[in-house]
């Protein structure tokens, strides 16, 4: 995943433009989804353990603030965030393309159209003090292919750096 993002401290567009440019590969298709925190469920055992770790690291107040942002996040509402060299893939298209049980056939059809994989990128969410952000970046490249996850970034000396991978 990306490190050393020289984005503005609390600017989603700046953060994502830098993150995408640092991936440094030939993939130009992106699905811009809601935030990684939209899928945190404090009552699930795995998520509660992860959230406990975040509380130790950044404090209960900031974790509560991050989780409260889940209500305001929407897929595909990223106007003006990325450059013209990036093709945005919307959720409806992905659902239509990958419907049914034959995932291999679906991926073949996707590659016939796009010639490359796609990145799934979440909107970053920032702590109230703007010192931390959580963003999800994952490469989706086939039925049994892909990597990525959510990371906690720390704003230090004008640069966003990965603090650690969350999941």
Task: Name the token pair of 7.
Answer: 């984005």
Contact (CB, 8 A) for 140 and 120:
yes
What's the pLDDT tens digit per position in 27-55?
667 766 655 666 666 665 567 788 888 99
Work out the average pLDDT over 83-95: 74
Q: pLDDT of 66-79, one tens digit each?
A: 888 776 666 555 55
Please give the Cα distance from 130 to 68 (Å, whole number).
15
């Amino acid at each position: 995943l990306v490190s050393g993002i020289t984005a503005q401290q609390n600017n989603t567009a700046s953060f994502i433009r830098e993150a995408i440019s640092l991936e440094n590969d030939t993939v130009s298709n992106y699905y811009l989804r809601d935030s990684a925190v939209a899928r945190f469920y404090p009552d699930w055992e795995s998520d509660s353990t992860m959230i406990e770790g975040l509380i130790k690291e950044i404090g209960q107040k900031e974790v509560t603030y991050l989780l409260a942002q889940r209500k305001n996040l929407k897929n595909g509402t990223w106007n003006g965030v990325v450059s013209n060299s990036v093709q945005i893939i919307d959720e409806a298209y992905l659902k239509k393309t990958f419907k049914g049980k034959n995932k291999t056939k679906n991926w073949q059809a996707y590659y016939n159209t796009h010639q490359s994989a796609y990145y799934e990128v979440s909107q970053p969410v920032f702590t109230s003090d703007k010192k931390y952000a959580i963003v999800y970046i994952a490469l989706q490249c086939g039925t049994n292919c892909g990597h990525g996850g959510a990371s906690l970034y720390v704003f230090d000396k004008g640069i966003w750096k990965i603090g650690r991978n969350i999941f």
